[in-house]
Amino acid sequence: MPILEQNYSRPRNHFSACHFLIGYSRCDRLHGHDYSVKLRMKYHSEIIDQFFDFRVVNSWVNQIINELNHKILLPERSPGIKIQPIRNGENWLILLQGKEYSFPQKDVKILKGIEQTTCEHLAEYIHKFISSKMKETGKYEMVSELTIILSETVGNEVSYSSKII
């Protein structure tokens, strides 16, 4: 059976964000990256016109990029980072390794279900987001594999592939 593959790698599919990586030497300090997002879908359908429209998938990619762009990314489930609201819920107080940070809540994206904001975990997070959008359409079963390719700097790239479950 032939395999149809769609690839999404537009130049504008990028975002800038900062984070902490507990236990990663100098990366446990606040620092940032310019990320780029690519997406690949493989289909197991012999019917060539049963696929997702590029415009629809690109709108999902743009949606997740807009949520992450110019944000401080914090993992919801990190054992080394404590996050608590302060200033009547306007700011987040971040406690880690004896340091305290205060950020306006609107500048922070807390990533649900994530323990660390490594490139690998971010690729999985984006995969789950796109997967949920595909499920909402009811057409996800035609996709045999969804791959998110996330680059945090030129030459440093992670691929996260899985079926849509």
Q: Which of 55, 73, 58 is nearest to 116 (CA)?
A: 73
Comparing CA positions, the residue from 43, 13, 23 lying closest to residue 97 is: 23
Q: Region of 25 please: left (phi>0), alpha (psi -120 to 50) or beta.
A: left
Helix 119-137 to helix 54-68 angle, to the nearest 10 degrees? 140
Inter-residue contact 101 to 108 (CB < 8 Å)? no
Reading the chain (165 residues) residue by residue, the pLDDT tens digits are 667 888 999 888 999 999 999 888 888 889 999 999 999 998 876 666 668 888 999 999 999 999 999 999 999 999 999 999 999 999 999 999 899 999 999 999 999 999 999 999 999 999 999 999 999 988 778 788 999 999 998 889 999 999 886
Domains, the chain:
4-78+114-162 (3.30.479.10)
- Structure pTM? 0.93
Write the pLDDT tens digit of every residue in 51-75. Answer: 888 899 999 999 999 999 999 999 9
